[in-house]
A and B are shown apart, each in its own frame.
Chain A
Amino acid sequence: MSIEAMPPESGLRTDVPVLEVEDLSVTFVRRGEQPTRAVDEVSFSVAAGETIGLVGESGCGKSVTSLAVMGLLPRRGVQVGGSVRLGGTELLGASDRTLRRLRGSEMAMVFQDPLSSLNPTVPIGTQVTEVLAEHRGLGKKEATAEAAELLDRVGIPDPTRRLKEYPHQLSGGMRQRALIAMALACSPRLLIADEPTTALDVTIQAQILELLRELVVDTGTALVMITHDLGVVAGLCDRVHVMYAGKVIETADRHDLFARPRQPYTGGLLASVPRLDAGRGVPLTPIRGSARDAIPWAEGCAFAPRCDNAQDDCLTEVAGSTVPLEYDGPGRELRCRHPLTYPPSPTGATSSGSTASGAGR
């Protein structure tokens, strides 16, 4: 069933995290327009067998971060800064040839819309065998057998027949599985999944999440899960990075994050989502305004116009600098001058119903 682990590519080391992203910045520069900084000094790392989550509302820079890591951003009109290392090898500034070789063999990506990332005019089978032929040098017969096994592995029924079918003949869930199968073709060490289940029904989402979970456990793939769904994060990710307006604003292990969100934005997100296990009539406490109301980070804290805890020193004018991302206890980082606080807890506190001062619950 399982795919044998490939020997690590020469030059990639195993004693360092699979992926290290350091101070990654991406700026889009269009002629006649203000440059927009979509990603602003983002840092994170993922180890083998680990799942990290990047969460935030639409437009906060999640997809641009993942495209930058994969080297899939357009060359023109985009400035990328910082460092992205895969197994110790620097990817920023690497040649197209190197990147193409690494994509598929060492790192792979699954997108939100499986239809647009599959070629509609080529049967699924051919698309999978092409990857196998290119990156693993398999012959046609071997590749076909391997492709059928991959489809079977991701739960596509009757794989030999499905290999001959075109993407539009598969349901949304099966297309996403096919895409995951292609991503797995070379047992990548890193898999980036950008909202892989957002377009799917919940029962199919549950199947795909289970598949990803198994994958991480069975093969030790490092998984970067990008999503806006806090429920998905709660069930899947070991560590979570919350993003707002291009910056990471809070980092924590998932249990800490959900039990004690410190950033008012994180707390606000959690108070906004209705929970299936909460009673009817439990009021929702939305964050006011929308992500459009963000101010530039250079002015202090981008979240300030929507923040209930905001004070004068959240602005550069008063405090003299942008609010920095700082150590906030073991395993945690926080970008906030007036975070949510919690009364010292008796043992065994859980997230459900925990009160946060200033969270307005």
Chain B
Amino acid sequence: MTAAGEPLLRVEGLRVHFPIRRGVFFDRTVGHVRAVDGVDLAIDRGTTYGLVGESGCGKSTLGRAVLRLVEPTGGQVLFDGTDVASLKGEALRTMRRRMQMVFQDPLGSLDPRQDVESLLSEPLRAHGLGGGTAGIAGRVRELMDAVGLPSAALRRYPHEFSGGQRQRIGIARAISLEPDLLIADEPVSALDVSVQAQVVNLLEELQRRLGLTYLVIAHDLAVVRHISDVVGVMYLGSLVEQAPSGVLYDEPLHPYTRALMSAVPVPDPVVEERRERILLAGDLPSPANPPSGCRFHTRCPWRQETRCDDEVPVLRELAPGHLVSCHWAEEIRDGVLAPKSPEEVAAIQGVTVRATGAEAIESDALVQGLDEPIERR
């Protein structure tokens, strides 16, 4: 066992690159999607780390790589001080038990042919836990109680439940093996507003009671702010900023974080009318062909020639626990640099975007939904 001061999870230089293959007769690798491209992060015991970013920025892939559901291309995952890649056999099984996942789509992740009782007792049986049939039956009832479902529901099948109830079943299953780390990938985004709050509260309550550590992946910044101690913002496979939740929302430093925050609608017309919005030009560039230098430079209102286009910014600590990867973070914070309007950004990028980055790869099923940087006139 390691010292309590050591983070439960430490990710160092994690990279996951997916090959893009083409060709009719034999596969040719024509490039790579750099889904996760050098991420460092650490999660302390009993805390919640929230990971946010736009669709396709690599959040889920990062979560899956931590669990080794995908094989990392490079970097390390240290769980409780042990390099996960070095584990084999029984040790790997134990480690897997200690990290569990809650999925976005509760229906898709639950076997429709099993009733709730068998869904919940199966993992216990598989790991030889729970202490025999009677013990397992007792434990299953405890789990149902913990997630606020009546025991009467045990005989029912997943499709007979509402979305929120299914997510409760998914959570019960994930905590059944008494894990230390729970990775929740968009745990509430498929749920109705009123039900989201129930599941968020449940996750918080379970954390308090069981001392769980969470990695919560979500695109909804308000949910992440609410639930997390520390928040990391991802853009095109890398972390661009990380800070304690309150600090990040009070003083976002990275231009992307600022834009993201200003784009989240707040359910209050008074606030909405007074807010300053930072609109971004264009779409997320393709992770198969990321921009050179700072990856955000194609959309950044504060971009400075030519450093932003050429030099990759590193994640550096500007205040205790507040990390940001922007060459001009201090100048932006102090108001020395002024932002350009999205139209100006688009106009400038209209000429330069295509010249930067590697050779263009045609749109591909794998990178569907993503597009080359915008070149607006």
Q: Which of B55, B261, B269 contacts A255 (CB 8 A)?
A: B269
Contacts of B266 in A (CB 8 A): 231, 234-235, 275-277
* Given A57-B193, A203-B54, A234-B269, also A276-B375 (CB < 8 A): no
Contact A352:B226 (CB < 8 A) given known A152-B377, A231-B266? no
Q: Are A158 and B377 in contact, CB atoms less than 8 angstroms apart?
A: yes
Shortest C-beta distance, A352 to chain B (Å), equals 6
CB-CB under 8 A from A205, the residues of chain B are: 263, 265
Q: Which of A4-12, A41-49, A165-173, A334-342 contacts B (4 or more CB under 8 A)?
A: A165-173
How many Å lie between the Cα of A269 and that of B371 in the bound state?
35
A284 to B201, CA, bound (A): 7
The answer, yes or no, to whether A295 is at the interface (CB within 8 Å) is no
Contact A286:B197 (CB < 8 A) given known A172-B369, A235-B269: yes
Q: Which of B261, B368, B369 has the most CB of A within 10 A?
A: B369
In whole angstroms, what is the CA distance A350 to B274 when docked? 13
Identify the closest chain B residue to A204 (Cβ).
Answer: B283
Determine whether the beta carbon of B195 is less than 8 Å from that of A290: yes
**Contact status A174-B267, CB under 8 Å:** no
B284 touches A (CB below 8 Å): yes
The answer, yes or no, to whether A268 is at the interface (CB within 8 Å) is yes
Establish whether residues A202 and B200, one from each chain, have CB atoms under 8 Å apart when the complex forms.
no
Q: Which A residues touch B54, using CB under 8 A?
A: 201-204
Q: Is the CB of B194 within 8 A of A276?
A: no
With a cutoff of 8 Å between Cβ atoms, the chain B residues found around residue A286 in the complex are: 194-198, 201
Q: Chain A interface: which of B20-28, B33-41, B86-94, B158-166?
A: B158-166
Residues of A within 8 A of B357 (CB): none
Give the nearest-CB partner of B223 in chain A. Answer: A274
Q: How far is the CA of A233 from the CA of B272 in the complex (A)?
A: 10
In the assembled complex, the Cα of A255 lies from the Cα of B272 at a distance in Å of 11
- Residue-wise, chain B 215-226 has the 8 Å CB interface mask toward A (1 for contact) of 000010111011
Count B-side interface residues using an 8 Å CB cutoff.
59
Contact of B162 (CB < 8 Å), options: A152, A155, A284, A290:
A290
Instruction: Count A-B contacts at CB 8 Å.
Output: 171
Q: Given the complex, which residues of A lie within 8 Å of B358, measured CB to CB?
A: none
Residue interface bits A198-224, CB-to-B below 8 A is 1, else 0: 000111111101100000000000000
Cβ of A14 < 8 Å from any Cβ of B? no
Tell me, yes or no, whether B282 is within 8 Å of chain A by CB.
Answer: yes
Residue of B nearest to A270 (CB): B267
Chain A residues with CB under 8 Å of B272's CB are: 231, 234-235
**B157 CB-CB contact with A under 8 Å:** no
- B268 & A275 in contact (Cβ 8 Å cutoff): yes
Bitwise interface map of B from 240 to 256 toward A, beta carbon under 8 Å scored 1, else 0:
00000110010000000
The residue in chain B whose Cβ has the minimal distance to the Cβ of A231 is: B265
What 17 additional pairs, Cβ within 8 angstroms, besides A255-B270, A269-B193, A277-B249? A169-B363, A170-B371, A172-B369, A173-B283, A202-B54, A203-B54, A203-B259, A207-B280, A229-B265, A234-B266, A235-B266, A235-B269, A274-B200, A276-B222, A276-B261, A279-B246, A290-B194
B residues at A contact (CB < 8 Å)? 54-55, 162-165, 192-198, 200-201, 219, 221-223, 225-229, 245-246, 249, 259-273, 277, 279-280, 282-284, 346, 350, 363, 368-371, 374-377
